[in-house]
Amino acid sequence: MNAVLEVSNLKTYFKKNKKTIRAVDGIDFEIGKGETVALVGESGCGKSMTSLSIMGLVPAPAGKVVDGSIKLNGVDLVQMPEKKMYDIRGKEVAMIFQEPMTSLNPVLTIGDQLTGVIMHHLKVNKKTATEKAAEMLGIVGFSDPLKTLKDYPHRLSGGMRQRVMIAMAMSCNPKLLIADEPTTALDVTIQAQVLELMKDLSKKFSTSILLITHDLGVVSELAERVIVMYAGQIVEISDVDDLFEEPLHPYTEGLIHSIPAIEGEITRLQSIKGNVPAPGTVLPGCKFAPRCSKAFARCTEEVPGMYVREDGRCVRCFLYDGEVVE
Amino acid sequence: MTTYIIRRCLMAIPLLFLISVISFGIMKMAPGDPTALMMDPMIKQENLEAYKESYGLNDSIVVQYGRWLGNMVQGNFGESFIRQGVPVSELITARLPNTLLLMLVSTFIAFIISIPLGVWSATKRNSLQDYAITVVSFLGVATPNFWIGLVLIMVLSVHLGWFPIGGVATYGEPFSIWDRLHHLVLPAFVLATADMAGLTRYSRSSMLDVLRQDYIRTAKANGFRQKTVIFKHGLRNALIPIITIFGLMLPSFIGGSVIIESVFAWPGIGLLFMEAAFQRDYPVIMAVVVIAATLVVIGNLLADILYAVFDPRIEY
Ligand SMILES: Nc1ncnc2c1ncn2[C@@H]1O[C@H](COP(=O)(O)OP(=O)(O)OP(=O)(O)O)[C@@H](O)[C@H]1O
Ligand SMILES: [Mg+2]
């Protein structure tokens, strides 16, 4: 398979006051060329740490990738020296963040920030970089790119800034774009526009996208495949249509039932009972068992492995023990 | 911008007025008056009275202040009581350049040492260097700088003979830049130490704060090297709050220069003020107070303008 990104057995831990917090606790997944994969889960389940691990930006010295590999086109980023990572970040793997209001440098013009990245990675002169920057701003929908290049970020709205962030991320034609809740801070109409833009660009440049979100509406809009994370582990990987039609893991089911339905009769919104286990707690069984309505004896005694079903869907739950192929 | 500057200058007028009223009051409340020092202690009472009368010292404080203010707004600071017949403005123009030079060089030294130290400390947070800088800074905050001045004079000037003991230039020598610098280094450095410690701590925390910002994460995610991240994306942001500190530092700087000028026999307005205060030379005291207050106002205005230069979000 021509996977752009292969993550296997990735473990990213934090050490705080001699306690170990397993922010990412052994996850495996792949992203194909041009594919958009969503990573969903409740707050604190390790989504951002997964993405920062890929970027090699886990906040040191407390946090560290302790095990596993992250292969980008077959090259392991975990083993890569920091010096070489400078050429990967922003070029091979680019990232956009949740907070467009604060993610741009307030004292540098949009032009300085865009051309800085372009000159750094593409090794071109200022003039070529400026042309490229203007072109990118045009692509992300600015009507007067040359004027915008001279503007400071505080003059732009949140949606505009996120467009600038997207232009910046896409300017060196990355193989993988990581978007960590790119639309959470935007209002609904702007959200839709930004998502549309990301969809178009990924098609146009055949960029793979790892989309991190806890908004399942965004997932159904953009993603082809969905990875569901819970407490640092992956509990389900499914194609997006299958996931919404027939969620396998009880946790996924809970997530889907907690989206308010727009059409149809008003039913009571269900939320998943209880809370995510406090980071650092170690349970003898399934981490979701204490909150699971379908839990049985085995769930609290044994840790479930990943079951791969005949149709290729993966789920970490004893309910599917009978259907395993592997 | 221009309207802003004009507005600020106009706003400074009532402030300066208030400062002059308060200083005048405090000065008059202090016991003693210039006659006690100038006159022969055996002088006849009626002669003393006549003298006081001629200088207007017997009028009510309000009248005296009014007279001083009236002259001052016409640019006339009067004549010194002690050095009879010497206009105060002459004393000031002879001394002010020395003080300005000392303060300018001293500010420069304070910034050029403190900011890099603070930034370095921030980027090496919790390292041995960081702790060392922190400890030295705290010692610096706790040590009065006239004491540092005296110690340095004793060690570097008296024992080692590397620097002159005081003054602005070697007496009787023709003017030379080197000689001037040689005299300037020590007092300027000592005056700088007053704010260096605080400034270092402040730069450190400002830089640490900046390094936590989202745009720094963006810069890292774009593959910039640590050096580029700190100097191109971080430093300018970190300097913005430090400018405010520059404005706040000025009064203590001027206060410090009074002490340091005395320690180093540096003939500036600080030393002039010290002498005048001991001799109750009212016109000189008032002139220095007004000038010092004006310097503070100008400094703060300068800080505000720099603010707008460094931070594009601020527009006046
Ligand atoms: N600097 C840190 N020090 C210690 N622990 C941390 C730190 N940052 C994150 N963690 C831990 O890592 C876990 C995963 O955090 P992460 O930011 O990846 O969550 P997330 O899934 O992105 O959540 P959200 O949806 O709120 O962004 C958290 O539970 C937290 O306890
Ligand atoms: Mg997050």
Which among B206, B209, B222 is the top mutation candidate for probing chain A, defined by the most A β-carbons within 10 Å of its own β-carbon?
Answer: B222
Portion 198-257 of B in contact with A at CB < 8 A? 213-215, 217-225, 232-233, 236-237, 240
CB-CB: which of B223, B232, B310 is closest to A89? B223
- Bridge partners, A180 (sequence order): A212
Which of the four pLDDT bands, split at 50, 70 and 90, describes residue A93?
A: very high
pLDDT of residue A263: 53
pLDDT of residue B36: 67
Portion 143-172 of A in contact with B at CB < 8 A? 152, 154, 165, 168
pLDDT of residue A125: 94
Query: B109 and B194 share a domain?
Result: yes
Which of the four pLDDT bands, split at 50, 70 and 90, describes residue A214?
A: confident
Portion 276-315 of B in contact with A at CB < 8 A? 310-313
Query: A252 and A133 share a domain?
Result: no
pLDDT of residue A167: 93
Domain count, chain A: 2
Query: A40 and A55 share a domain?
Result: yes
Query: A88 and A113 share a domain?
Result: no
Query: B65 and B153 share a domain?
Result: no
- Interchain CB contacts (distance < 8 Å): A and B: 70
Instruction: Name the residue with tokens 């890292």.
Output: B220
Query: A146 and A182 share a domain?
Result: no
**Contact at 8 Å (CB) between A239 and A316?**
no
Is B80 among the domain residues? no
Query: A182 and A38 share a domain?
Result: yes
Ligand 1: residues with CB < 6 A are: A 14, 16, 21, 23, 41, 43-49, 59, 62-63, 214, 279
Please give the distance, rounded to the nearest whole angstrom, from the Cα atom of residue B216 to the centre of ligand 2.
17
- Cite the DSSP H helix spans in A82-215: 82-88, 110-122, 126-139, 145-150, 158-170, 188-205
Domain count, chain B: 2
Q: Do A152 and B214 touch (CB under 8 A)?
A: no
Which of the four pLDDT bands, split at 50, 70 and 90, describes residue A270?
A: low
pLDDT by residue (tens digit) across A185-213?
Answer: 888 888 888 888 888 898 888 899 999 99
Query: B43 and B102 share a domain?
Result: no
pLDDT of residue A129: 95
What ipTM does this complex have? 0.87
Structural domain harbouring B55: 2-73
Which of the four pLDDT bands, split at 50, 70 and 90, describes residue A325?
A: low
Query: A70 and A136 share a domain?
Result: no
pLDDT by residue (tens digit) across B125-174?
Answer: 888 888 998 888 888 888 888 888 888 888 888 888 888 887 877 777 77
Please give the full DSSP string across B139-187, using - where no structure is assigned: HHHHS-HHHHHHHHIIIIIIIS--S-SSSSS-TTSPP-HHHHHHHHHHH
Nearest ligand for residue A58 CA: 1
- Residue to mutate (ligand 1; options A10, A48, A64, A183; most atoms within 8 A of CB): A48
Q: Do A154 and B214 touch (CB under 8 A)?
A: no
pLDDT by residue (tens digit) across A18-30?
Answer: 888 899 999 999 9
pLDDT of residue B165: 80
Instruction: Name the residue with tokens 């930034």.
Output: B119
pLDDT of residue A262: 54
pLDDT by residue (tens digit) across B61-71?
Answer: 888 888 888 88
The top-scoring range by mean pLDDT among A131-135, A251-255, A286-290 is A131-135
* Average pLDDT of chain B, as a whole number: 85
Query: A64 and A180 share a domain?
Result: yes
Is B6 among the domain residues? yes
Is A292 among the domain residues? no
Query: A160 and A219 share a domain?
Result: no
> Cis peptide before A61, with omega less than 30 degrees from 0?
yes
Structural domain harbouring A44: 3-92+174-277
Indicate whether A258 pLDDT > 80.
Answer: no
Q: B147: which residues sit within 8 A by CB, 6+ positions away? A: none
Instruction: Name the residue with tokens 């791969």.
Output: A308
- Residues in chain A within 8 Å Cβ distance of B219: 105
Query: B69 and B118 share a domain?
Result: no
Three-class SS state of A105: coil
* Average pLDDT of chain A, as a whole number: 88
Indicate whether B257 pLDDT > 60.
Answer: yes
Least Cα distance to B152 among B184, B179, B187 occurs for B187
Please give the distance, rounded to the nearest whole angstrom, from the Cα atom of residue A93 to the centre of ligand 2.
18
Which of the four pLDDT bands, split at 50, 70 and 90, describes residue B282?
A: confident
